[in-house]
Amino acid sequence: MPRFFSERAGLPPVPAVALISAALLFVVPPCEAQQPQTQQVTTSYGVVTGNLVQAPAADLATRVPVYAFLGIRYAKPPVGRRRFERPEPLDQQSSSAGSEPVSRRCLQWTRYPLQGVSGDEDCLYLDIYVPASYFVAQATKLPVVVFLPGSDFKSGSKDDIRAGYGFGTTNIFVVVNYRLGVLGFLSTEDEYGKGNMGLWDQQMALQFVKSNIGAFGGNPERVTLMGFGAGAMSVSFHMLNPVSSTLFARAIMSGGSAASPEATVANAWKNARQLGRAVGCTQEDGASLVGCLKGIDAVKLVDKAHHDKIKFLPVVDANVTLNAFVKNYPRLMYCQGRFTPKPTIYGYTKNAGSLRYFERVNQVENLKSIDQIVQTYLNEFFEDEDSRVGVAAAVRFQYYRPRRSLSNATRNAINTINMLTDFLVGSSVELALSGHLKLLQGTSYLTPNPAFMYIFGIPNGERTFADLQRGPRDLYGASYMDDMLYTVNTEGLLLPTDVTRDRPIVGFMTTFFMTFINGGNPGGTLTAINPVQRQYTNMSLAYPAGLVDSVPYRPQEMDFWNFFVPDLHLELNRTSWASYHNAREATHFKAATWGTTTLVVLLVLIIVGLLAAFFVYRRQKQRSRRLHARDGVEFRPVAQDVKL
């Protein structure tokens, strides 16, 4: 996630707005002034120390005391021989397991505040936030939230997310670092470069939480796994993994799923070789290539991967190793119901595609046709030319009818943003939700594993990732992951100092998330989805009050991407393959024909040669006999009879 660093000392005190129930507000104990500045907790790997900090409540004015246990190592450093390998667990009573005073983000290429590579290869740490009140009363174990940061598997850090808005103030809040980009997802699609290291990091962090969160006051049986963007895709991967799914009880995923076009990469071996050639590792076999890349400076690898636009994402590794993390294509696993459903909140923002649109707006401003615009954004997801042309034509019909001209630039921009939102985000969330609902059919959809869904369409808050790109805010709408900015405390990112207008949104979001995490059912704000009616919560808030409508959301567009386009792509690929196969068969037929012809010609030439030699021999022999007869000499065969 692009990073902004805030220089603010704190939020200005402003009157509170009563938006959430009293049960969700954290009450500061009277003895707050006497609370110690540090607390120590003993884990399986050693003693860790937490420092007292003040976290913002959901009203954005009140501050709540929290102990922050920062920089807890959960795996051995993934450096040296451990680079590109799955994480290794810590040794018991490891002296390196204690809190790390220096914040570390995993090595990544960042855009803000300065462009370039930042972070550390030794980065497998997590932060744990515990309400200070727990150390006063130490009553019932608290629910736990494990948060997976990141927007695109290339950037993001635990340092961007802190306690606040109910997270870490009414429950135990854990934020996890995991390897990113080339260091987290390089794969040679063989046993030497299996890939998915970042997902294995996350799983080891979940195992650490399962084993140790009780010492911090958390209930290991009440863990909610949560993420936005790539974090949501990661949550989805863990839902589909039979081991990971035993490590948490509930899930919140907004902004994508494992079925997203940006969640996996199909040409991992090709990408690995491309990076290898860029840094001087020209080996063609996986073992030698990975061995060479382990010796290259990590900063150089990250920088080259960024500038050469080489994708490193999770891979389907079922054909690489028996102990695979992604055991089949996520789309297929959801369609076939090959996972265990859990109580889950699904969601995404209404205009999630606006960030992607404005990233390439300069490339499309002077294009001459709608198809060219569509292909500019979608070509990277369809490798063969037939699919690119065919899908672009289908998209033009679905999103740009009845007008196909470029005369209305604003209308075309909105259509393109809608198309990107549906393709990159919405359709994959819908597919995951459909798989969940399919497993609930024939049961009560209210229990025991209900599904909830929201569309975040609140465009006029002070906090938006749209400010990272040029373009008017009203065109961006609720941009990619904007809902995260109103759900968790992102003080590690640059936020506006005037947050008065944001209070209703933060309170609104906090209400149903905290209810779900603490009690399981968001109640009146979010309604569990009936598998038959399939109505979602569409959040369209206007200040100062909000309206929540349950409506079927873009069913035709979801079916277009989840059913029509895959069938079209498959048919176009089949046609392309048939043409290729027929051409190849024709080539083989021609080669076989010419081979047979050549053989016949050679045989004829040999026969002709033998006949010619025979006739020459007979002619010479007859001539020799005539010469000897003329000289009175006659040759006869020697008798073979021998008398003894």
- DSSP assignments along 305-318, one per residue: HHHTT--------T
The predicted pLDDT at position 601 comes to 54
**Mean pLDDT of all residues belonging to the chain:** 81
Q: Could you report how far apart the first and last alpha carbons of the chain are, in Å?
A: 111
pLDDT at 458: 80
Residue 313 lies in a domain: yes
Is 590 within the bounds of a domain?
no
Residue 284 CA to residue 160 CA, distance in Å, equals: 39
Place of tokens 């970042």: 198
State which of 55-59, 189-193, 491-495 shows the largest mean pLDDT: 189-193
Q: How far apart are CA 198 and CA 86, in angstroms?
A: 8
Looking at residue 9, its pLDDT comes to: 32
DSSP H helix total and E strand total for the chain:
19, 14
Answer whether residue 631 is part of any domain.
Answer: no
How many other C-beta atoms are found inside a 10 Å radius of the C-beta of residue 22?
A: 7
Nearest to 132 by CA among 23, 47, 217: 217
Cβ pair 540, 547 in contact under 8 A: yes
Backbone angles phi, psi at 548, to 5 degrees: -120, 120
Give me the pLDDT at residue 528, please.
74
Q: What is the pLDDT confidence band of residue 181, given thresholds at 50, 70 and 90?
A: very high
Whether omega for the bond prior to residue 637 falls within 30 degrees of 0, making it cis, is no
Decide if pLDDT at 461 tops 60. Answer: yes
Mean pLDDT in residue range 479-483? 90
**Confidence (pLDDT) at 353:** 93
Specify the pTM.
0.82
pLDDT score at 28: 38
Whether 164 contacts 55, CB under 8 Å:
yes
| pLDDT level of residue 127 (50, 70, 90 thresholds) | very high
Name the residue with higher pLDDT: 101 or 201.
201
Tens-digit pLDDT profile for residues 288-337: 999 999 999 999 999 999 999 999 999 999 988 889 999 999 999 999 99
pLDDT tens track for 333-362:
999 999 999 999 999 999 999 989 988 888
Distance (Å) of CA 260 to CA 393, 493, 580 = 21, 26, 29
Q: What are phi and psi of 628, to 5 degrees?
A: -70, -35
Number of domains present in the structure of the chain: 1
Give the domain extent around 147.
54-367+406-553
* Three-state SS at 146: strand
> Between the ranges 67-81, 564-578, 595-609, where is the mean pLDDT highest?
67-81
Within-domain flag for 49: no
Write down the pLDDT at residue 463.
78
* Contact criterion met (CB below 8 Å) for 14 and 61: yes
**pLDDT, tens only, 405-440:** 677 888 888 999 999 999 999 999 999 999 998 888
| Segment 458-471 mean pLDDT | 71
In a domain, residue 59? The reply is yes
Q: Is 49 helix (H, G, I), strand (E, B) or coil?
A: strand
What pLDDT, in 10s, does the model give residues 255-280? 999 999 999 998 899 999 999 999 99
User: Would you state the pLDDT for residue 19?
Assistant: 27
Q: Is the dihedral of CA 236, 345, 509, 511 positive or negative?
A: negative
pLDDT value, residue 581 = 37
Dig out the tokens for 579 from the structure.
């043409």
**What percent of the chain has a predicted confidence (pLDDT) above 70?**
73
pLDDT tens digit string along 397-410?
A: 999 976 666 778 88
Identity of the residue numbered 341: P
Residue 533: inside a domain: yes
Residue 109 CA to residue 116 CA, distance in Å, equals 5
Q: What share of the chain in percent tops pLDDT 90?
A: 54
Under DSSP, the state recorded for 565 is H
Distance CA(512)–CA(452), nearest Å, equals 11
**Are the C-beta atoms of residues 457 and 509 closer than 8 Å to each other?**
no
Contact of 507 with 20, CB cutoff 8 Å: yes
Question: CB within 8 A of 603, min separation 6: which ones?
Answer: none
Q: Which domain CATH number covers 267?
A: 3.40.50.1820
pLDDT at 30 over 90: no
Of the two residues 457 and 156, the one the predictor is more confident about is 156
Report the 10 Å Cβ neighbour count for 493: 20
Helices 197-212 and 230-240, axial angle in degrees (round to 10): 70
**Looking at residue 532, what DSSP letter applies?**
T
Q: Tens digits of per-residue pLDDT, 219-256?
A: 999 999 999 999 999 999 999 999 999 999 999 999 99
Kindly state the helix (H) or strand (E) to which residue 516 belongs, with its residue range.
Answer: helix 503-519
Please state, in angstroms and rounded to a whole number, the distance separating the CA atoms of residues 109 and 1.
Answer: 10
| CA dihedral for 616, 618, 623, 624, sign (positive or negative) | positive
pLDDT confidence tier of residue 549, bands split at 50, 70 and 90: low
Distant-in-sequence, close-in-space partners of 582: CB < 8 Å, separation ≥ 6:
none
Task: Tell me the longest C-alpha to C-alpha distance in the chain.
Answer: 147
Q: Does pLDDT of 592 surpass 70?
A: no
Q: How confident is the model at residue 98 (pLDDT cuts 50, 70, 90)?
A: low
Band of residue 513 on the pLDDT scale cut at 50, 70, 90:
very high
Residue 244 lies in a domain: yes
Secondary structure (3-state) at 93: coil
3-state SS track over 282-302:
CCCCHHHHHHHHCCCCHHHHH
- 468: which 2 tokens? 């990272």
